[in-house]
């Protein structure tokens, strides 16, 4: 007998030091929200906080959520976080099982960038696309891939690790152990490293500022030459990587989000990607800024709660 799904789902997002929670209906409309600082001193404290965050947004009777999805900053394999750099206390913890037991309803995990990709493909800048890549630009580079309305995570959860695609064979060492990865150029540390080098020989307003990604972004918008050069190099690295992804996957939507995304960078990325992609493939691909921004992960997590699968047997249309 077919299980009749209830019509309320809860998404949680523990990606950026804040625990965001929302209960949504089948259309993804938010019915209740709750944001609080994330406690991450121990697994037990974190699990308790996740349980209370669910109760904070849940309804009663037919308004109660039937399932919970959680967006995690790390690689998710099945019901476990198999690798999280930012929340290492979760490594190897069967978090989904523990939350399912405590909440009395299914709890599912998903990588944060995958969740954001799903949300953008469903309701954001990627809607209408069949083959959607989401890239988050910030400290690091996150990305998620949605094919035919479902997350493509790969058999071990590593799909979409576009930040560690090599762009410069003899480039800077990356935190992953490789060299010249996209992240070494387009990640925050790469911006600061190149700005510092360029500042040695040229005047720049960055000299008077606390040098970080936000300062470089602002200086570029004000026309600072050094900051603009950092943006151009970032756009070039992104353009090279996107051209490969568009050609390989026939992407029809690319969505760029995260704190370092800007319309100025987007314009440059489009130019760099266009000149490296087969014209017919490029013509079918829209490259846009995120529309859901900070709300993407929590909405995607709720969507994961609703569908319960990454790929495989579920229907491939949003309903």
Which range binds Zn ion by CB under 5 A, 175-183, 214-222, 235-243, 257-265?
Answer: 175-183
Structure-block tokens of residue 241: 């990587």
Which residues are CB-neighbours of 214 under 8 A, at least 6 positions away?
A: 259
Q: DSSP label at 38?
A: P
Judged by CB under 5 A, does residue 174 bind Zn ion? yes
Contact 10, 65 (CB under 8 A): yes
Judged by CB under 5 A, does residue 264 bind Zn ion? no
Nearer to Zn ion, 174 or 285 (CB): 174
Q: At its nearest, how many Å lie between Zn ion and the CB of residue 279?
A: 31
Residues 40-59 interacting with Zn ion (rule: CB under 5 A): none
Torsion-angle region of residue 65: left (phi > 0), alpha (psi -120 to 50) or beta? beta
Judged by CB under 5 A, does residue 193 bind Zn ion? no
Residue where the block lists tokens 């709750």: 34
Q: At its nearest, how many Å lie between Zn ion and the CB of residue 181?
A: 3
Task: Please give the helix or strand (H or E) that residue 190 lies within, else none.
Answer: helix 188-199
Nearer to Zn ion, 24 or 162 (CB): 162
Q: At its nearest, how many Å lie between Zn ion and the CB of residue 292?
A: 27
Q: At its nearest, how many Å lie between Zn ion and the CB of residue 255?
A: 22
The Cα–Cα gap between 178 and 164 comes to 8
Judged by CB under 5 A, does residue 176 bind Zn ion? yes
Judged by CB under 5 A, does residue 164 bind Zn ion? yes
The Cα–Cα gap between 36 and 290 comes to 23
Residue spans of alpha helices (H) in 172-278 = 182-186, 188-199, 213-221, 225-249, 263-274
Which range binds Zn ion by CB under 5 A, 47-55, 110-118, 156-164, 290-298?
Answer: 156-164
The Cα–Cα gap between 11 and 109 comes to 10
Q: At its nearest, how many Å lie between Zn ion and the CB of residue 304?
A: 26
Judged by CB under 5 A, does residue 172 bind Zn ion? no
Which range binds Zn ion by CB under 5 A, 166-174, 199-207, 269-277, 296-304?
Answer: 166-174
Q: At its nearest, how many Å lie between Zn ion and the CB of residue 178?
A: 5
Structure-block tokens of residue 6: 């209830």
Judged by CB under 5 A, does residue 181 bind Zn ion? yes
Residue where the block lists tokens 């947004």: 57
Q: Which residues bind Zn ion (CB under 5 A)?
A: 164, 174, 176, 178, 181
């Amino acid at each position: 007998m077919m299980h009749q799904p209830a019509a309320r789902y809860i998404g949680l997002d523990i990606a950026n030091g804040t625990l965001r929670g929302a209960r949504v209906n089948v259309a993804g409309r938010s019915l209740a929200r709750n944001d609080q600082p994330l406690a991450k001193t121990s697994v037990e404290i974190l699990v308790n906080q996740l349980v209370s965050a669910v109760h904070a947004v849940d309804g009663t009777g037919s308004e109660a959520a039937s399932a919970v999805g959680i967006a995690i900053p790390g690689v998710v394999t099945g019901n476990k976080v198999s690798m999280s750099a930012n929340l290492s206390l979760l490594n190897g913890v069967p978090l989904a099982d523990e939350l399912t037991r405590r909440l009395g309803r299914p709890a599912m995990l998903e990588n944060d960038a995958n969740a954001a990709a799903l949300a953008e493909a469903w309701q954001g800048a990627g809607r209408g696309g069949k083959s959607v890549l989401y890239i988050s630009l910030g400290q690091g580079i996150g990305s998620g891939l949605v094919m035919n309305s479902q997350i493509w995570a790969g058999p071990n959860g590593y799909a979409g690790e576009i930040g560690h695609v090599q762009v410069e064979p003899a480039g800077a060492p990356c935190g992953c152990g490789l060299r010249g990865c996209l992240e070494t150029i387009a990640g925050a540390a790469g911006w600061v490293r190149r700005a510092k080098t360029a500042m040695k020989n040229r005047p720049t307003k960055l000299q008077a500022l606390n040098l970080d990604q936000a300062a470089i972004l602002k200086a570029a918008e004000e026309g600072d030459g050094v900051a603009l050069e950092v943006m151009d190099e970032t756009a070039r690295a992104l353009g090279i990587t996107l051209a490969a992804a568009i050609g390989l996957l026939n992407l029809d939507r690319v969505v760029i989000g995260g704190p370092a995304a800007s319309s100025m960078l987007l314009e440059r990325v489009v130019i760099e990607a266009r000149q490296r992609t087969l014209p017919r493939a490029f013509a079918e691909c829209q490259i846009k800024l995120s529309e859901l921004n900070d709300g993407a992960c929590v909405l995607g997590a709720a969507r994961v709660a609703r569908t319960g699968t990454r790929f495989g047997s579920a229907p491939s249309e949003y309903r």
